[in-house]
Amino acid sequence: MAQIRAIRKRMTAVGTIARITKTMQMIATAKFTAALSRAKDSRPYTDAIRNLVGEVSGAAGDYDSPLFNAPAKKNKELLLVITSDRGLCGAYNGNVLRQALLHTRSAKTNNSDVTLETAGKKATTFFKFQKLDARNQLTFGDKPQFEDVSRVANRYMEEFSNGDWDKVSVAYMRFESNARQIPEVVQLLPLSGDSTETEEETSSSSNYEFSPSAGEILDDLIPRSVTTTLFQMFNDAVVSENIMRMIAMKAATENANELGKDLKRDYNRARQAQITTELTEIISGAAALE
């Protein structure tokens, strides 16, 4: 009887867990759909700004920006690590933090001093456990606002221009598709050659006439490109977090349902064994009275 009661309690607990994980899966699906829409809407603008910087810089001649080259060689790098505020999202946080930790150790091997900033409570907790202090702990929630990200980007650009850092990098989860999310560390500053154009594009853009001058246009476009790139990284991180939580909760729900079936089968067997034992005792007692 005690075994049957214990199995029944486990069945109730597993059923409750299955309902909770199913609800979390539905919430994550709704958040993923909204986050994916925001990320898709912002990506064309981000790519257009980056391409425009490449075209205009090709026609700007000897234009130079403090965001293109590190103003000082101090072997100091700022690394922003973007994770989630909550868990239960599979390997999302673990993969990003692993990449960030490997990058930090590699930089130290090259005699570079890495200063950390975190966006998300999981990163803050992880680096405290690793006895690595983060300079700032940022929180943007499930819907990063462009104004908030812009303030962070402006601070990075100002500090980089002042020579506080040789490099500013971001560790995050890049979203490619529903089945593919890639943890990586991307250099935000100085601007890499990825935004420059090919020789063919340079020759075509050299025929453009700019008013105001190409240099004045780049003075506005380059900071805007850095800000939109950082904003896109946050959007990709939110999309990746929610899809990985959705997948994790779906797997948890399926496992709970499977365990519930196994427990129900064990319960039926235990109940049948108890009934058989009771019948045997009744028959044996009746036979003893004859």
The domains of the chain are located at 27-246
Q: For the segment 137-194, what is each residue's pLDDT rounded down to a tens digit?
A: 998 888 999 999 999 999 999 999 888 898 999 999 999 988 899 999 999 998 865 4
pLDDT over 90 at 66, yes or no:
no
pLDDT band at 238 (very low <50, low <70, confident <90, very high): very high
Q: Collapsing DSSP states into helix, strand and coil, what is residue 57?
A: helix
pLDDT band at 1 (very low <50, low <70, confident <90, very high): low
Of the ranges 50-64, 178-192, 246-260, 274-288, which one carries the lowest mean pLDDT score? 50-64
Q: For the segment 101-118, what is each residue's pLDDT rounded down to a tens digit?
A: 999 999 888 888 999 999
Edge-to-edge strand list for the sheet holding 167-177: 134-138, 113-119, 76-82, 167-177, 180-189
> Phi/psi of residue 116, each to 5°?
-100, 145
Percent pLDDT > 70 in the chain is: 91
Q: CATH code for 27-246? A: 3.40.1380.10
**Which pLDDT score is estimated for 61?**
66
* Structure token digits, residue 74: 């101090």
Task: Count how many Cα atoms sit within 13 Å of the Cα of residue 209 in the half-sphere of its side chain.
Answer: 0
pLDDT over 60 at 206, yes or no:
no
**In contact, 81 and 97? CB cutoff 8 Å:** yes
Q: What is the mean pLDDT of residues 240-247?
A: 95
Of the ranges 41-50, 156-165, 194-203, which one carries the lowest mean pLDDT score? 194-203
**Which pLDDT score is estimated for 3?**
84
Handedness of CA 220, 223, 226, 232 (dihedral sign): negative
